[in-house]
Amino acid sequence: MPRYLVTGCAGFIGSTLTDSLLADGCEIVGVDAFTDYYDRAAKEAALRDARDRSSFTLLEHDLATGPLPADALEGLDGVFHMAARPGVRASWGAGFEAYVSDNILATHAVADAAGARGLRLVFASSSSIYGDALAYPTPEDTPPSPISPYGVTKLACEHLLNAHARDSGLEHVALRYFTVYGPRQRPDMAFTRLVAALVSGSEFEIYGDGSQSRDFTFVADAVAATIAAMRDAPVGATYNVGGGSEAALRDVVALVEQLAGRPLNIRYGERAAGDVKRTLADTARIRAELKWEPRTDLRVGLAAQLDAAGALAASAG
Ligand SMILES: NC(=O)c1ccc[n+]([C@@H]2O[C@H](COP(=O)([O-])OP(=O)(O)OC[C@H]3O[C@@H](n4cnc5c(N)ncnc54)[C@H](O)[C@@H]3O)[C@@H](O)[C@H]2O)c1
């Protein structure tokens, strides 16, 4: 059975990927530093199922501060590099230093380790590298132009991996995820904040007027694309991973209210610096080359996230 390293294994996407690979019979060495971007308890909860399996080993390690221990890299078939400091808003100001560490320095260390051992590396990049994109839907060859410090670090990581590929022959694949959602979604992300507001009756703040739209991608679809990339992608490929469910935030609010059977308490706030107006992936390349397509539409995926949080109306089930 294949044995993989998953960095960021305690995070939203990393833990879902880890569970899926374990269920397929893979052995997983999971690495996570349990950074302070959000609460450790949420990450521990996300790892609960994985920790029950003998095919899972957890290594608590900060990738930005030192090389991975050699024994963690033994016998591997590939590396899924999901660890990062995510989020656009916190990447401004003094927060940027942590983005440089957890994104650029950490990726450099992982690329060194994978390149030296001839391991294939699948990298979690982001739609944020496009900024306010020059074309919609946005194909992969659209000139990148990130408008947040976070997006700049993700683009830097892509370039860094290309540099490592030339130097060490590193085999890498970059996946540009478009707003991923579903159970375990990070607490700073809109859907999790929506669900929390619904459950507690507290206010939900929309940054701006709610007309900003996103190509929402259900986490199981993102994970399926990630595994397909490890198995089948040509060396050096870059793919958009978009769920094909574009919606404006205010329409998502209406859908949540409908699914939950009760209204939300909404407040409109300032538009957030670095937030793009719109994302929409052109997924022709990944559909053609990896035979991947998103399977979960927004209504079904959102219902799954609400259900996991115990916030689904009985009649909507
Ligand atoms: N969630 C999305 O919508 C989305 C969209 C585009 C790209 N991405 C990318 O996907 C990846 C996963 O995102 P997520 O939403 O699951 O984030 P997350 O914060 O839930 O998971 C990231 C994990 O990486 C760990 N980590 C951070 N820095 C580390 C370091 N230096 N050493 C070891 N571990 C470290 C964190 O502790 C965390 O558990 C990230 O690379 C992110 O940039 C996510």
pLDDT in tens, 180-222: 999 999 999 999 999 999 989 999 999 999 999 999 999 999 9
Atom of ligand 1 nearest to the CA of 86: 43
Determine if the peptide bond prior to 67 is cis (ω within 30°). no
Determine whether the shortest distance from the Cβ of 86 to ligand 1 is under 6 A. Answer: yes
* DSSP 8-class letter at 132: S
- The whole model's pTM is what? 0.97
**pLDDT, tens only, 93-113:** 999 999 999 999 999 999 999
Helix (H, G, I), strand (E, B) or coil at 171: coil
Atom of ligand 1 nearest to the CA of 83: 24
What does the pLDDT read at residue 163? 98
Helix (H, G, I), strand (E, B) or coil at 293: coil
Residue among 5, 7, 12 to mutate when testing ligand 1 (max atoms within 8 A of CB): 12
Atom of ligand 1 nearest to the CA of 43: 39
What is the amino acid identity at position 187? Answer: P
**pLDDT, tens only, 133-184:** 999 999 999 999 999 999 999 999 999 999 999 999 999 999 999 999 999 9
Q: Report, as residue numbers or ranges, the catalytic residues.
A: 150
Q: 203-207 and 180-181: which strand pairing? A: unpaired
Determine whether the shortest distance from the Cβ of 62 to ligand 1 is under 6 A. Answer: yes
- Residue 314: pLDDT band by 50, 70, 90 thresholds? low
Q: Find all residues with CB under 8 Å of 40, minimum gap 6, and list them.
A: 34
- Tell me the CA–centroid distance for residue 82 and ligand 1, in Å: 6
* DSSP 8-class letter at 142: S
Listed residue (87, 85, 63) closest to 73, CA to CA? 63
* Cα–Cα distance, 149 to 90 (Å, whole number): 9
- Whether 271 shows a pLDDT value over 80: the answer reads yes
Determine whether the shortest distance from the Cβ of 43 to ligand 1 is under 6 A. Answer: yes
Residue among 13, 44, 130, 226 to mutate when testing ligand 1 (max atoms within 8 A of CB): 13
Q: Are 283 and 229 in contact (CB under 8 A)?
A: no
CA atoms within 13 A on the CB side of 246: 13
Q: Classify burial at 289, counting beta carbons within 10 Å of its beta carbon; exposed 0-12, middle 13-18, buried 19 or more.
A: middle
CA atoms within 13 A on the CB side of 139: 4
What is the amino acid identity at position 15? Answer: S
What average pLDDT does the segment 13-32 reach?
98
- Whether 317 shows a pLDDT value over 70: the answer reads no
- Which two structure tokens, joined as six digits, stand for 185? 């979604």
% pLDDT > 90, the chain:
92
- Whether 316 shows a pLDDT value over 50: the answer reads no
- Whether 3 shows a pLDDT value over 60: the answer reads yes
Which residue puts its alpha carbon closest to atom 9 of ligand 1? 124
